[in-house]
């Protein structure tokens, strides 16, 4: 037996019919009717059909329940319909108490419905402002969330843009720096080519002279051999010849420079300074601040003491140098001529001239007799840090930021030689007493000794781990003291070529170092505003005093020639006398 296909609506209709039938049966009086056998047979057949139908309904109900259980896991969207038009009108009238109007509306509404004059398709749903406001609010929330996300994204993009802009500026700055360095190197190469091009004619001339001398030498040798053969053939006996009379030994020839004795070898007696063989050490242990003088409006970079008189000269960043009389501190003279800060000072051994170096790349010679600048050397290509007179007074040395030191002939007013070898700024220069050896310190962390006669480096001391700010000889010339930017002091033995002492007075930079006339006391100008004094023993350096008083870094210091007092200059524009 085949079962018909039932859907949900069919089953629901069957149940509704059954319910209607049950309710209708209750309204009637049922009578018992006798059934004959044929009727009973038919009833049995109908009963069987009813049983089959009930089983099919139960089976269909079971299957539909199973399908509903499966579909229960699926989320269905419920559609909400708005209020119909007539209910909207009724509710509006009832809420406002229009009862009679409602009755009239009901009557007229049903009449129009019955007559067919009012169709459902002609009616529209009344506006639901609450629902619309909810929808608008939901849309507004979504838009606000999108706006918030957009603002966060825009802020992130703005931060990334600012970061990229900064990186671009950094790379552009590095590019410009590299381009400037490249242009500087190109200019230096051009200057070098131009400089060496000047020597090509000289080299060719020297080569020709060498060839001529070689030919002359060969000719002389041939002539000598020919004469020797002639003498041997003539039978002369060299032993039979009388010995020549004894001659007085002539003095050794003196090294000449430009037709006169070389000042780097021979020092005139009137230029020699008489030095006590055993000078007494300065009494640094008892030094205290005696006087303070306001010397300049800007930092004082250097101080020097006159070799014969109680006079001090200070150099400053205000592009001037000033001469002061001690002990009163009276201003004697002012040197104004440099275009930039003045860094180095040196007195002529005779005391009548002064040399100064400056950031304007020049070295100037000042005459106290003429009260003016007598000459300016401008061969350096960058700032000049220091100058130093030779003991002869006829030669001057200078150290520059252009990685070179130069030797100047003060008779011919020309550069006598250039000391090349440092790979960074040359910060100081100092002569060894009565010799042609000079000492330089450099930012390449080395201290070098040079022979000024041939402009060659004879020794280099390695050991500093920071820029070497200053180096100086001891009065006897057997030791060199050097200080660096880490505050490290090193004492070098020139004869044994070794480091004798090593002392860290940091962490602040040590700007300058000097010996007292005995060579046993050492003073250091420190960036922390202190002047630190040590006594040099055989195996160690012993601190003996710490002079405080400057309000800024101490840039320079020097003992007087007799060791009676110490002068220091600082970044506070003052120079102070300690005794």
Contact between 268 and 261 under an 8 Å Cβ cutoff? The reply is no
pLDDT at res. 315: 96
Contact between 92 and 127 under an 8 Å Cβ cutoff? The reply is no
* Cis-peptide into 543, omega within 30 deg: no
CA distance 306 to 314: 11
CA distance 303 to 289: 17
Q: Distances in Å between the alpha carbon of 246 and those of 253, 332, 436? A: 20, 63, 37
The per-residue pLDDT string of the chain (579 residues; one tens digit each, 9 = 90 and over) reads: 444 454 555 545 555 555 555 555 555 555 555 555 555 555 566 667 777 888 888 877 777 766 655 555 555 556 655 566 777 788 888 888 888 888 898 888 888 888 877 776 666 666 667 678 888 999 999 999 999 999 999 999 999 999 999 999 999 999 999 999 999 999 999 999 999 898 899 899 898 898 888 778 877 877 787 788 788 878 644 444 444 444 444 444 444 555 556 677 655 444 455 444 567 888 999 999 999 999 999 999 999 999 989 999 999 999 999 999 988 888 888 999 999 999 999 999 988 999 999 999 999 999 988 889 999 999 999 999 999 999 999 999 999 999 999 999 999 999 999 999 999 999 999 999 989 999 999 999 999 999 999 999 999 999 999 999 999 999 999 999 999 999 999 999 999 999 999 999 989 999 999 999 999 999 999 999 999 999 998 888 999 999 999 999 999 999 999 989 999 999 999 999 999
pLDDT at res. 243: 46
Torsion-angle region of 523 (φ positive above 0: left; ψ -120 to 50: alpha; else: beta)? beta
- For the sheet with 311-316, list strands across it: 300-305, 311-316, 320-325, 330-336
Which ranges of 235-294 would DSSP assign to H, the alpha helix? none
Contact between 290 and 328 under an 8 Å Cβ cutoff? The reply is no
* Three-class secondary structure of residue 403 per DSSP: coil
Question: Which residues, at least 6 apart from 4, have a Cβ–Cβ distance to it below 8 Å?
Answer: none
β-pair partners for 456: 451
pLDDT at res. 110: 86
pLDDT at res. 245: 47
Q: Distances in Å between the alpha carbon of 130 and those of 77, 80, 87, 93, 196? A: 20, 13, 17, 19, 97
CA distance 491 to 457: 19
CA 549, 569, 535, 307 dihedral sign is negative
pLDDT at res. 42: 57
pLDDT at res. 133: 84
pLDDT at res. 271: 47
Put simply, whether the predicted model's pTM sits higher than 0.75 gets the answer no
Domain ranges in the chain are: 1-21+43-69, 85-126, 284-578
The superfamily (CATH) of domain 284-578 is YVTN repeat-like/Quinoprotein amine dehydrogenase (2.130.10.10)
Can you point out the beta strands (E) in 368-476?
372-377, 384-389, 395-400, 404-409, 414-420, 426-431, 437-442, 446-451, 456-462, 468-473
Tell me which H or E stretch contains 220.
helix 129-234
pLDDT at res. 382: 96
* Cis-peptide into 507, omega within 30 deg: yes
CA distance 474 to 64: 116
């Amino acid at each position: 037996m085949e079962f018909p296909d039932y859907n949900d609506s069919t089953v629901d209709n069957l149940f509704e019919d059954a319910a209607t039938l049950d309710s209708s049966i209750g309204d009637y009086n049922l009578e018992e009717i006798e059934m004959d056998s044929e009727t009973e047979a038919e009833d049995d057949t109908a009963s069987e059909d009813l049983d089959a139908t009930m089983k099919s309904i139960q089976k269909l109900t079971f299957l539909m329940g199973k399908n509903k259980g499966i579909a229960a896991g699926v989320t269905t969207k419920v559609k909400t319909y708005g209020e119909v038009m007539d209910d909207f009108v009724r509710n509006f009238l009832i809420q406002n108490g229009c009862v009679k109007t409602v009755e009239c509306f009901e009557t007229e509404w049903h009449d129009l419905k019955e007559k067919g004059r009012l169709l459902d398709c002609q009616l529209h749903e009344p506006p639901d402002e609450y629902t619309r406001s909810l929808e608008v609010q939901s849309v507004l929330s979504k838009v606000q969330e999108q706006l918030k996300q957009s603002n966060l994204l825009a802020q992130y993009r703005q931060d990334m843009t600012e970061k990229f802009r900064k990186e671009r500026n950094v790379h552009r700055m590095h590019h410009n720096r590299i381009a400037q360095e490249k242009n500087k190197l190109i200019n230096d190469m051009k200057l070098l080519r131009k400089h060496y091009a000047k020597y090509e004619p000289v080299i060719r001339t020297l080569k020709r002279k060498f060839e001529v001398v070689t030919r002359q030498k060969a000719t002389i040798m041939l002539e000598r051999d020919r004469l020797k053969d002639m003498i041997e053939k003539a039978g002369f006996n060299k032993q039979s010849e009388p010995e020549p009379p004894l001659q007085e030994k002539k003095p050794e020839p003196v090294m000449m420079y430009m037709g006169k004795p070389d000042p780097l070898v021979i020092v005139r007696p009137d230029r020699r300074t008489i030095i006590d063989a055993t000078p007494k050490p300065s009494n640094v242990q008892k030094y205290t601040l005696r006087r303070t003088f306001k010397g300049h409006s800007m930092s004082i970079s250097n101080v020097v003491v006159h070799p014969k008189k109680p006079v001090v000269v200070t150099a400053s960043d205000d592009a001037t140098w000033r001469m002061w009389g001690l002990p009163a501190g009276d201003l004697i003279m002012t040197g104004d001529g440099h275009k930039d800060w003045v860094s180095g000072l040196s007195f002529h051994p005779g005391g009548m001239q002064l040399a100064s170096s400056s950031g304007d790349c020049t070295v100037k010679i000042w005459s106290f007799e003429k009260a003016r600048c007598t000459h300016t050397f401008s061969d350096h290509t960058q700032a000049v840090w220091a100058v130093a007179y030779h003991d002869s007074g006829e030669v001057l040395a200078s150290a520059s930021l252009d990685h070179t030191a130069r030797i100047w002939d003060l008779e011919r007013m020309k550069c006598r030689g250039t000391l090349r070898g440092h790979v960074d700024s040359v910060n100081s220069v100092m002569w060894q007493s009565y010799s042609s050896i000079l000492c330089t310190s450099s930012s390449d962390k080395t201290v070098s000794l040079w022979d000024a006669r041939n402009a060659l480096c004879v020794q280099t001391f390695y050991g500093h781990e920071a820029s070497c700010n200053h180096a100086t000889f001891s009065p006897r010339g057997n030791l060199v003291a050097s200080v660096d930017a880490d505050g490290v002091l090193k004492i070098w033995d020139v004869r044994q070529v070794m480091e004798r002492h090593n002392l860290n007075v940091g962490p602040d930079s040590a700007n300058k170092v000097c010996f007292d006339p005995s060579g046993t006391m050492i003073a250091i100008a420190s960036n922390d505003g202190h002047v630190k004094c040590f006594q040099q023993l055989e195996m160690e350096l012993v601190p003996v005093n710490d002079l405080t008083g400057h309000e800024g870094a101490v840039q320079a210091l020097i003992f007087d020639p007799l060791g009676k007092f110490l002068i220091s200059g600082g970044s506070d524009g003052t120079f102070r006398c300690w005794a």
